[in-house]
Structure formats: structure tokens, C-alpha cells
Amino acid sequence: MTARKIDGKAFAAKVRAQVATEVSQLKAAHGITPGLAVVLVGEDPASEVYVRNKGKQTIECGMASFEHKLAADTSESALLDLISNLNNDPQVHGILVQLPLPGHLNEDLVINAIAPEKDVDGFHISNVGLLATGQKAMVPCTPLGCLMMLREEHGSLSGMNAVVVGRSNIVGKPMAQLLLRDSCTVTIAHSRTRDIEALCRTADILVAAVGRPQMVTGDWVKPGATVIDVGINRIEKEGGGTRLVGDVDFDSAAEVAGAITPVPGGVGPMTIACLLANTLTACCRANGLPEPEGLTA
């Protein structure tokens, strides 16, 4: 391996430590405790683990955590009522509705019912529009975490060629917006892109967010490029059991790249750290206080 491994786990711990410091100052100076509400509909075991981790880290940062677990057959109107209550609850500064929702619930409708200033996922159409037009928004956690790691790695990203593989609303599109804002030349690639390998080889920054295990191999990578692996896929291990892999084939990509994020221990921990950072930011904005530095895009 020739690439430097970007330690997302360590970086996330630093971000959380900064959040914790700022939270304790908020409490001491203003008597305000930032609060995050997480809504989980149905009983997906993987989601439950993830929600539990978020709750734990929220409390470790000194914030209040409100968990709402609803039955899989919860009606849309009951879910919208809960969101309305959270929108009106002054102790709640951030609201996250865990996705995907069960099929009978309209995800767009539910997400757009969240008050935009409490939308710590940055998925509400108002925040999407604010980000796209360069206005102050809530920025989606996973792309924000990727951007923080890229800025740490490179300082300025100005003029770099960035290729984002994947066009989802939660990662690909907002990632492209953030890279464009930092003056990269951005291309979004997807399953229909012609000669995707050759396109990816033009990238100084290559972000893989497609949800296909180990799709991006070393021959897709420009020598010295920075590779950000957003994928979190559980695959069968030879000889039984499972393991987590990204959308990048780590071993072959690490032979060519200049720097690369691992899975686990890369983008995942940064996503949760940015969720906490966004909750703090939302709380500061709600109270007309200055925003924390270095935690926003």
C-alpha cells in the first residue's frame, strides 16, 4: 500500500470533542442545552444499532437525546403529528427521521414536514435549495464529513478535478454542490455513465457513493488521487460470517491513490460527528448566537 490512510475515526473524535466544548460553554453562558430528536419507524436491526450509537454520542457531547421508536405500521398522519410536536418543542433543535421509511410512508412528504431550521440531515427542499444557491443551509452530514476530511488533506480544493460516483439526494448531489462551492471542477457519474473508469482516472478527488461493494478498483484511480469511500456494505466472508466493505476495493485502490478513507473507520464516524455538529449549529442559530467555527460548510 502506498496511499496514506485518512483516519475518519480519529478526525470524528476531534470534531465531537470540539462540539462537547462548545456545548458546555453554551450551557454555562446561556443555560441552553442543544437537543437532538431521532425518529425510527419499524424494527430494522442495523438501523437500531445506528440509532443507539447516535444517542450515545449525543449524550457524550453533553446534548439532550430524544428517541422516538414507532411501530412499522405507524400511519403517515401519526408520524406527521409527531414531527409537528417536535417542530414546536423548544428543547429540540435537531430532528432526524431515519431513512428508509417503510413503503406505505411518503418520504418526501415526511422530510418536508420537518421545520427546515431543525432539519439536521439537510434533506428538506428548502435546505437543498439554499445549498444549491450558496445560502446558509443545513448541510447533509455525510457530504459535510467528506468535505471536512478533504479540506484537512488539501487545504484549498480550488481547481481540482472531482468525480462523484453516485447521484443520490443524500450524498451524490449535495457532495457535488459542496465541491463546486469549494471551486472544484465537478462531474457526477452514475450507472449510465460511458467509460466510467476513464472518467474516474481524471479525478484528483474521487468520491464513491453508489452502494455497490468494491466497485471502484485501483485501475479507476489516478496516481496520487484522494479517494473518499462513502459505501457501507455488509458482505459474506469466505469461511462464514460477514464484514463491512466500501464501494471501493481498498487494497487495489490504495496501491495507486495518494490518500484514501477506509471502511469502517472513514466516512461513517464523520457522518455521526457532523450530525452532532449540525445540531449544535441549529441550536446556535435558533438562539441568535454565533455559530461554531470550522463545523459548517
Tell me the binding residues for NADP(+).
166-168, 232
Task: Report the run of H or E that residue 259 belongs to, with start and end.
Answer: strand 259-260
Contact residue for ligand GUE among 80, 87, 265, 285 (CB under 6 A): 265
Q: In angstroms, rounded to a whole number, what is the distance separating the alpha carbons of residues 24 and 18?
A: 10
- Region label for 224, one of left (φ > 0), alpha (ψ between -120 and 50) or beta (otherwise): left
Distance CA 231, CA 247 (A): 5
CB of 141 to ligand GUE, least distance (A): 5
Please give the backbone phi and psi of residue 12, each rounded to the nearest 5 degrees, phi first.
-65, -40
| Residue 272 in the binding site for ligand GUE (CB under 6 A) | yes
Site string for ligand GUE, 144-183 (x = CB under 6 A): ----------------------------------------
Min separation Cβ 25 and ligand GUE, Å: 26
Specify burial of residue 42 (Cβ count, 10 A radius: 0-12, 13-18, 19+).
middle
Q: How far is the CB of 265 from ligand GUE (least distance, A)?
A: 5
Active site residues: 54, 98, 121
Among 145, 218, 269, 292, binds ligand GUE (CB under 6 A): 269
Q: For the range 104-108, what are the long-range contacts, defined as Cβ-Cβ under 8 Å and sequence gap of 24 or more?
A: 104/73, 104/76, 105/41, 105/74, 105/76, 105/79, 106/76
What is d(CA 200, CA 249) in angstroms, rounded to the nearest whole number?
14
Among 11, 50, 220, 250, binds ligand GUE (CB under 6 A): 50
Instruction: Report the nearest approach of ligand GUE to the CB of residue 145 (Å).
Output: 9
11 binds ligand GUE (CB under 6 A): no
Q: Answer yes or no whether residue 263 interacts with ligand GUE by CB under 6 A.
A: yes
**Which residue's Cβ has the minimum distance to ligand GUE?**
268
Site map 104..123 versus ligand GUE, x via CB under 6 A: -----------------x--
The answer to whether 211 contacts ligand GUE (rule: CB under 6 A) is: no
Nearer to ligand GUE by Cβ, of 56 and 190: the residue is: 56
Please tell me whether residue 264 binds ligand GUE under the rule CB under 6 A: yes
State the Cα–Cα distance between residues 146 and 135, nearest whole angstrom: 20
Torsion of CA 280, 16, 11, 183, to 10 degrees: 0
The CA distance from 140 to 119, in Å, is 9
Query: 44 vs 89, which CB is nearer to ligand GUE?
Result: 44
Is the sign of the CA dihedral 278, 230, 9, 47 positive or negative?
positive
Stretch in the footprint of ligand GUE (CB under 6 A) among 64-72, 184-192, 247-255, 265-273: 265-273
Does 296 participate in binding ligand GUE (rule CB under 6 A)? no
- Are the C-beta atoms of residues 131 and 119 closer than 8 Å to each other? no
- Report the SS3 class of residue 248: strand
Give the total of residues touching ligand GUE (CB under 6 A).
Answer: 16
Q: Which residues contact ligand GUE (rule: CB under 6 A)? A: 50, 96-99, 121, 141, 232, 244, 263-265, 268-269, 271-272
